[in-house]
Structure 1
Amino acid sequence: FLCHSYVGCLLLSFCSLMIGGAAGLRICSYNIQRFNTTKAADYRVMHTLTKIVSRCDICVLQEVVDPELKAVKALVASLNRYASTLSSRTKTDSNPERFLLWLSTHLVKQLGQHQYEGKAFVRPPFAIHFSCSKTDIKEFVLVPLHSDPDQAVQEIDWLYDVFEEVSTKWNNTNVMFLGDFHAGCAYVTRNDKKKIRLFTNSNFSWLIGDREDTTVTDTTSCPYDRIVVHGQSFLKAIRPFSGKVFNFGKEFRLRQAKVGGLWLQQKDPEKHKIPIKIFHLCGWIIKFLYGNKTCCKHINDINS
C-alpha cells in the first residue's frame, strides 16, 4: 500500500517522541498510493494497513482517492480508537486526492487545521495543530506534503512559505513537515538544494539523510520520503538520522506482501536490520527527549 508505479514501493516513515527506553508518541507518514474502494475491499491490504496504523499515535496517509468516503469509513470501522480528519480535495486529475490523518484521542488533541491556499502546489499542504499534555513539547504543527515529481524543487521550497503562514497563524514554530517529497535522485539534485530554503536555512533540520533509500526495490535507491522539523524544542531534542528502514515484510513474516496491487518481495533482512533498541517496527526513528513523562504507556517497549 505504499507503492509508486514509477519508482516501486516507498517504505514507511516514522518518528517518535521518546524518553530513555520507554515508548513515546509515534508519528507516522505513508504514501498509500491511491487508497480507494478497491483496496478497501481487499482484506489483506486492510488487515496490513490496520496493523501498521494501529502502532502509531498520529498517522498521515497520502493519496486517499475516495470521493464517496466508502474506503475511509471501512478503515474507520477497523480503527475505532482513533479520530480521523480529512483535508480538502486536490485537483490533480479526475480522481482528486486527500490527506487522511489519524490520531489517538487519549494521547493527542487536535487544536485546529488549515488548508494552505498560497503557492501553486499540485497537492496543497494541509496543516494540523496538535497538543499532547504528557510531553514537554505541549503543542506542535504537522504539515504533510505529497509533492508533484515534476515540480518537486519548487514545492519543497514553497514549504518555507507554508511554515511562515502556519507558525504565524498558531504562534508556534514547532513545525514538522513530512511525506513523499520526491526529494532525491533526478527530482532533487545537489545543485537543486541551493534553490530550496528548507535546505539553505539552518533553522530546519532534515531527519532523513540524502543517502537513505526510502524505496524497497533493488533497482532504485532514492530518499524520496523526508521528515523536516523547525523550532528549538525540536532541534535540541532530536538525534538526527537515527533510524533505518522498516521491513514490514519481515515484521509480519511475509515472504511476499501484496500491497497496493503490486507484489512486494522481502529484501535481505540483515541489510535492513534496525540497530535501535527502542522500536523494531519503525522505518525512521527520531528521538525527542521530554523530561520524565511517558507519553504512550499503552505501547510496549519492543527491542530489535
Structure 2
Amino acid sequence: MQSACSQETGGSTERLGLQSFTPGSRPATPRECSRGRGSETSNRLVVKKSPHSTLLLRLQEAEFQQHGTRRPSAHLNSSTMRWHSPCLPLFFLFSLLALSLAGDEDFKICSYNVQEFNLEKSQDYRVLHTITRIVSRCDICLLLHVTDSDGKGIQALLDSLNRATDRYDGYTYQSVASKGLGDDLQQYVFLYRTDTANVTGQYQYQKPDSFVRPPFAVQFYSAKTAIKSFILIPLHSEPSRAVQEIDRLYDVFQEVSKKWSNKNVMFLGDFHAACAYVTRDNKRDIRLYTNSAFAWLIGDRVDTTVSEETNCAFDRIVVHGKTFLKAITPFSAQVYNYALDLKIPRAKAVEISDHLPVEVDLKSSAPLLQATPLLILLSISAVLSASVI
C-alpha cells in the first residue's frame, strides 16, 4: 500500500496526503520528503495545510492515476514555490502602495523675504546658487522685498532654476509679479512650477492709505493638490504700522474671496507680527486673530530670523476656513533653516537675507496618498500573518 509523508501529532499520525502510511513503516522526514528520499513514496511533500497545497496534491494524484506517471512536484522547485505563496498578492499590493507613496510628494508653498533682491544681488554666484537651492524645494515660492524694476534679477534666478532642472527637481519655473510698491518700489514675486501649478487670476489691492505695500493676490490651480484652487495673498508690512496692516488683511480677504468666489485663502509674508511690533495686547485689535475662522500656522515662539541677536516670528502663514486647514499636511508649517541644511555659516547667511523662509505643505490629490498609516500597518500585518500560516 502506497504511503504519504506525514507528521506526528500527540502520538497520532495526521494525514497530509491522500493516503495514510502502511502500519509499521517508518514515516519519511520532511527533509527526505523534499529530496525525494525516505519511504517508497517519499516524493510527496510535507506541506502546510492551505487551499493551494491541497489542490496541487489532488491534481498530482489525479494525473498519477490517469497516466501512471507523476511530474516533478512544482514545490520541489524553489523558484516555482515562491509564486505559489499565498502571501504574494498581499506583498505586491503593499509594494505598490509603498511605491506610490514614495513616488509622489505633497505640494510645498514657501515664503521668503530675500532682502533687496535685484540684478546686482543675482550677479553674486554664491547668493544666486543659495536662493536657487531654496526656491527649488517649493512648488510655489513667494519672494518679498524684491527691488528689481527691470526684471533682470528675477530673470537671472529663473534661468538658474531652469538650468538646474536636472540637478535639483526636474521642473520648469515661471514668475508672476506685482508692480513696484511703496517708496522703494518693492515687488511681490511668485515663482512657481508650471508642471504642478497654473495662475488663474491676479489682483492688486488698491484701497488708498491702507498699506504701504498693498497685497498682490494671485489665484492658483493645482491638480496635484486635494484643494485644487486657492488664493495666496502676500504682505510685507511696514513695521511701524504692522498692527493696522495685518488687521486690514481681513478687508482684503472679503474683497478677493468675493471677486473669485473662493474662500480658500492663504496669507503669507513678512508681517512683522512679533516682538515690539505686535504684542499680545495688540492681537485683540487684529481680526485675523479674533476671528476663529483664521488659523495661524507659524506660531509666536518661532524664530524666523537669521541673526543671533533677534528671536522673532516676523514671517507668518495664515489660512482661512476648515476646508483649507484640512488640506494642509499636519505639522508641515515650519521655518526652513537653510543655513543649517546647506551648511552655510551664519555670517554668510546674513549676507543673503536677515530672514529665514517659512513653508507649508498641501496634501496631494493622489488617492493612495490619502491612505492612513493604519491601512499601511494592516497591509504589513496581513503579509506577516500570511507568511507564518
User: TM-score normalised to the size of structure 1?
Assistant: 0.78
Contact 1:177 1:227 in 2 (8 A): yes
Match of 1:45 in 2: 127
Match of 1:168 in 2: 258
Match of 1:101 in 2: 190
Match of 2:180 in 1: 89
Match of 1:114 in 2: 203
User: Structure 2 counterpart of 1:160, which letter?
Assistant: Y
1:249 to 317, 339, 351: 339
Give 1 or 2 for the bigger CA radius of gyration. 2
In structure 1, the gaps of 5 or more residues are: 1-18, 265-280, 296-304
Match of 2:63 in 1: none
User: Structure 2 counterpart of 1:25, which letter?
Assistant: F
Please list every run of at least 4 consecutive aligned residues from structure 1 whose deviation after the TM superposition is greater than 6 angstroms: none
Match of 1:57 in 2: 139
Q: Which fold has the larger relative contact order, with Cα–Cα distance below 8 Å and residues 6 or more apart in sequence? A: 1
Residue 70 (structure 1) aligned with residue 160 (structure 2): no
User: 1:143: Cα distance to partner?
Assistant: 0.5
Equivalences for 1:221-300 in 2 at 5 Å? 221-238=311-328, 242-256=332-346, 258-259=348-349, 261=351, 283-286=358-361, 288=363, 290=365, 292=367
Output one character per residue of 1:64-118: Cα deviation in whole Å (capped at 9) or x when no partner: 10122221221122123111111021122xx311011111011111101000012
Query: In structure 2, do the counterparts of structure 1 residues 145 and 263 end up closer, same or farther at CA, with 3 Å as the change threshold?
Result: closer
Task: Name the structure with the higher strand share.
Answer: 1
User: TM-score normalised to the size of structure 2?
Assistant: 0.62
SS at match of 1:226: strand
SS at match of 1:31: strand
Match of 2:293 in 1: 203
User: In structure 2, what is the Cα distance between the partners aligned to 1:197 and 1:263?
Assistant: 30
Match of 2:276 in 1: 186
Identity percentage of aligned residues: 51
User: 1:151: Cα distance to partner?
Assistant: 0.2
Task: Name the structure with the higher helix share.
Answer: 2
User: In structure 1, what is the Cα distance between the partners aligned to 2:124 and 2:357?
Assistant: 24
Query: In structure 2, do the counterparts of structure 1 residues 53 and 44 end up closer, same or farther at CA, with 3 Å as the change threshold?
Result: same
Match of 1:153 in 2: 243
Match of 1:34 in 2: 116
Residue 129 (structure 1) aligned with residue 219 (structure 2): yes
Q: Aligned pair count? A: 259
User: In structure 2, what is the Cα distance between the partners aligned to 1:156 and 1:178?
Assistant: 11
